[in-house]
Amino acid sequence: MILAELQNDRFLRALLKQPVDRTPIWMMRQAGRYLPEYRASRADAGDFMSLCKNADFACEVTMQPLRRFDLDAAILFSDILTIPDAMGLGLYFETGEGPKFEKVIRTEKDVAGLQKVNVASDLGYVTNAVSTISNELNGKVPLIGFSGSPWTLATYMVEGGSSKDFRHVKEMMYATPDVMHQLLDVLADSVIDYLNAQIDAGAQAVQIFDTWGGALSHDCYKEFSLAYMNKIVKGLKKEARGRKVPCIMFTKGAGQWLEVMAESGADALGLDWTTDIANARARIGDKVALQGNMDPSVLYASPARIRDEVAKILKSYGNGSGHVFNLGHGIHQFANPDHAKAFVDAVVELSPAYHK
């Protein structure tokens, strides 16, 4: 696929620790329920998965935050659970309860019975959305593709939905670790194919979302989460259309594992708000770029308070490239869009001083 020449590549340059004129910014879940235009699009589509599976709707909601805010990247509008859905688990959404599956995976027989994912036929609606969004962007900013991590996908598949105590997935991990490894291996292979297909369709960077890795013990994180993300990073296409395709690895609650994560081969690590970015840069900033890490709840504060927090994080990171400003997790659905604009504008205004 031939893409229009990028008019703004500071996000990609920062991920590769190349010089930039200011700190680039995007927001996790930047296309989402906090925007009234998103809620209108979802109502028009009928339900969440119809929004995801229609390329025109997915493109429209991807573009919505770019019309409001001075962002440096777009992110594909989709869901992290598309792969388990393609494996035959029957993804659906209960209002107010989040994602659920009609089938759960608890045994070796369950794992063996998973449908093998053919990205072109089973997830073609995602790659079609990537192509459609890329054409609509026309080089304005880069497009980020993404997937859930194997551990995070497995968590939903084994629990059947969201969980507070991870009872079933941790039981499988501790009682039948071989079965858990079989499941994670199948998922890692599928994620590699999925992300590479997104890259082929036009994604210029990719992020692995490991939402639930922080629920694991020290050794289990390395064995059951990080090892499979490392496999994915090694299997990803490193270049496309004459340009390097950076990979961002994000585990929520992973501040204690930054050193081993930095050995993964990923170009950048996402930080949640519980990790001091100055400390993270001192520990691993010579190896990888850092993305983050304002607490999304700061957006409930006044614009002046938001600006102060942005200034503090910029000062904490310090001078030079290698920082992509973001929230420490997804923007909350009750955030005021005007406060999100104050956040983005503060980064745009205050960060050039750190790049002279």
Counting DSSP H helices and E strands in the chain, the numbers are: 17, 11
> Three-class SS of residue 229?
helix
Distance CA 88, CA 81 (A): 11
Q: Is the peptide bond before 293 cis (omega within 30 degrees of 0)?
A: yes
> Three-class SS of residue 122?
helix
Helix 177-201 and helix 227-235, axial crossing angle in degrees, nearest 10: 30
Angle at 334 between CA 329 and CA 340, to 5 degrees: 65
> Three-class SS of residue 312?
helix
With a CB cutoff of 8 Å and minimum separation 6, the contacts of 296 are: 273, 327, 328, 329, 330, 331, 332, 335
Distance CA 235, CA 121 (A): 21
Active site residues: 29, 33, 42, 79, 156
Please give the span between the terminal C-alpha atoms of the chain, in angstroms, as a whole number: 36
Two structure tokens written together for 45: 């589509």
| 3-state SS record for 161-209 | ECCCCCHHHHHHHHHCHHHHHHHHHHHHHHHHHHHHHHHHHCCCEEEEE
**Cα 161 to Cα 49, 104, 157, 171, 334, distances in angstroms:** 16, 9, 7, 16, 23
Two structure tokens written together for 117: 């994912």
